[in-house]
Amino acid sequence: MTEAVQLTEHGGGVVQITMQDRSEKNTFSHALVGGLIEVYARIAARPDYKAVVLTGYDTYFASGGTQQGLLAIHEGKMTFADVNMYSLALDCPIPVVAAMQGHGIGGGFVMGLYSDIVLLSRESIYTTNFMKYGFTPGMGATAVVPYRLGESLAHEMLMTAANFRGAELERRGVACQVLPRAEVLPRALEIAAGLAQKPRAALVLLKRHMTRALRERLPQCISEEIAMHEHTFHQQAVADRIATAFGR
């Protein structure tokens, strides 16, 4: 493991992934991305694991792309799909519970929504802020956000790039548990423990069945998002916004 990502065994087949790249506030740094890819590979290779809890540290869950990474996409040096870390939870063979105890920003929020069960914090901010910088959403956001939160709310979040507190999303009727921050991780571990009481083979088969529609939709969605980026991401105004508004 790396300092940015820790894997903890809780016994009974439950494991916890903790994202804690404190110096980068859990943006998609090389350390965080590499650590996540490594731990999910280890989990997939362990037949005794039955459920995963994915969480962050303090008031941060995950904060999306780094400023350098966004500028690299703007300059045409890479695309968000060059390294597929965004759907690691979806591709994990066993159920993943996202304990989003802290802020979920942009791609960080989208990454959490690929989990099978999502818990939010009333105090935290959640946003799909791609359009804040003038480029259209990526990471499969146009597929997974409506899949998880519903079409109407997804359209509002993706188009406006507005910030939403967990408490507001709760009032809007999101189909996720929304709890005080201190209760999010304990509740997620409780759910994972309940999942781990079931046979692993049944969990794997049921997850594969229930996520099939999203997995089948995702490749075309990624292709369409990259095509939209060709028209939106390479504008000078986008670079200016990334340079001046990033992190604000």
pLDDT of residue 1: 56
Contact 14, 50 (CB under 8 A): yes
Statement: residue 227 has pLDDT above 60:
yes
Query: What is the pTM (predicted TM-score) of this model?
Result: 0.96
Task: Find the mean pLDDT for residues 211-229.
Answer: 96
* Radius of gyration over every alpha carbon of the chain, rounded to an integer in angstroms: 17
| Strands ordered across the beta sheet of 60-62 | 60-62, 103-105, 125-127, 164-165
Quote the CA–CA distance of 39 and 49 in Å, as a whole number: 12
Question: What is the average pLDDT value for the chain, to the nearest integer?
Answer: 96
The sign of the dihedral angle between the CA atoms of 4, 43, 107, 86 is positive
Mean of pLDDT values over 123-132: 97
Q: What would the pLDDT profile of 181-218 be if each residue is shown by its tens digit?
A: 999 999 999 999 999 999 999 999 999 999 999 999 99
Q: Where are the domains of the chain?
A: 5-180
* pLDDT of residue 2 exceeding 80: no
Nearest Cα neighbor of 158 from 133, 125, 136, 134 is 136
Give the per-residue pLDDT at 153. Answer: 97
CA–CA gap between residue 167 and residue 170 (Å, rounded)? 5
Q: Are 119 and 148 in contact (CB under 8 A)?
A: no
Indicate if the pLDDT at residue 50 is higher than 80.
yes
Q: At the fourth CATH level, which superfamily is domain 5-180? A: 2-enoyl-CoA Hydratase; Chain A, domain 1 (3.90.226.10)
Assign 69 a pLDDT band (cuts: 50, 70, 90): very high
The SS3 call for residue 150 is coil
User: pLDDT tens for residues 78-119?
Assistant: 888 888 889 999 999 999 999 999 999 999 999 999 999 999
Q: Tokens standing for 171?
A: 């009032």
Nearest to 120 by CA among 164, 151, 87: 164
> Between 200-210 and 212-232, two packed helices, what is the crossing angle to 10 degrees?
50
Q: Who's near 4: CB < 8 A, 6+ residues apart? A: 19, 20, 21, 24, 29, 31, 32, 35
pLDDT at residue 248 greater than cutoff 80: no
Residues 70-74 have a mean pLDDT of 92
Catalytic residues: 229
Alpha carbon distance 237, 134 (integer Å): 7
Q: Indicate whether 72 pLDDT > 80.
A: yes
- Among 19-23, 81-85, 165-169, 219-223, the range scoring the smallest mean pLDDT is 81-85
Question: Mean pLDDT, to the nearest integer, of 120-145?
Answer: 97
Name the nearest CA neighbour of 151 among 178, 130, 172.
Answer: 172
Q: 14-19 and 5-11: which strand pairing?
A: antiparallel
State how far the Cα of 4 lies from the Cα of 21, in Å rounded to an integer.
Answer: 4
Average pLDDT on 66-77 reads 92
